[in-house]
Structure 1
């Protein structure tokens, strides 16, 4: 089974057992490690993969060929992207300014644009797409006015002397009462999606039951991340929603993508296609 997911600790933790033949009855995996920008592109424009981890924001572009699976992804509370500046500032300071984002087809981007429409008078200026690991240095060095950061930046932005303008996850949760959808697992509609979901769920359960088993695999792909940061990453992004989206998880996805479609940020689509 051809699969693509990121080298981030939450993904390698979740898929360790499946990738190493530890899930009974599951096929051998042919794994491609790629950041979400690339996996979004693969899902939209390639036929190379059976299963992928993509951003929830990319779903409307691929639902004709791929179906959302109810497990394996990242969705939760207290795990949203952050808007950072070099010095303390409020949302109004971003008006007309250059802002860096890690992707323009990501949950982080959708949340930022939905928040910006309500809180930044007249809107921001130029949106600059930049690799996520370059954003904090660019903000610190004055290359851009603000940055939207994801992943382990939640735990490390203080090391760059940066200030928090807003936590997009906190805003979303206060506004909707729902968790924030981040990364989705999708599978080809032509495949046995029930079987694939059962294998992924078994891999998640193995990871929780044997947390030490995946440690070397996680750290080998963690891009020089400190072990304690990698563990914090896993603790934040791997949760009950990873094992099963449930009604609350589906409601969160429908709320995010429904709002984004109404604002013209994603193509219009039938929300029933998410289930």
Structure 2
């Protein structure tokens, strides 16, 4: 006989959330592993779970998304339980806090503010955040975000208060300008010495301008790059499998030989 009888599956969201709280609270008091966890020890696991959810979303695997959402939700409840033990806050404080924030930042729904479109909503959101105590519009962008994602968020935040280009043609002109400046620092024709620091700076400017242009044409640069990563991996693994079938090691093949399989992979 088990020490504890598992709570039965729920038929509504509220009861289901209570079931999760019950299970997590039991594990926290009874399981040796769960007892030992701290916010710091869970942090890297939470990051991993978030990336697994991201992978599932990119693959469009709804069953996997459902599973990973559960894992992420469990971690959120776990953090709240630890905070409750420390007397800092509890899960009810978390839920009420986020509800109050959403209500306050949607005055066009819960107040008398008029908006015409999505851009008005974003502008109001940033203005309200400043009234709440944020010292900078960019203050809400986490410092530890990957650089590509961070660049997108910085640009979105700036756009939210009206600091943006007027037309995408202006943005593309900026891309071409930055590309030329990078080429000036990193001349692919001349075999001259390169100032790596300057070239790196210009390359960063070029990437930032490309991310800006992607935003103007409604392309998520993180998603676009990840799809290209997956495409490259798939084609490279095809190349590896074909090389193995032919009894050759990739490092012993010529580039021309590898190109044959690579071009085959592009047609799949």
TM-score (norm 1): 0.22
Considering fraction of residues, name the structure with more strand.
1
Greater helix proportion: 2
Larger radius of gyration: 2
- Larger relative CO (CA 8 A, sep 6+): 1 or 2? 1
TM-score (norm 2): 0.22
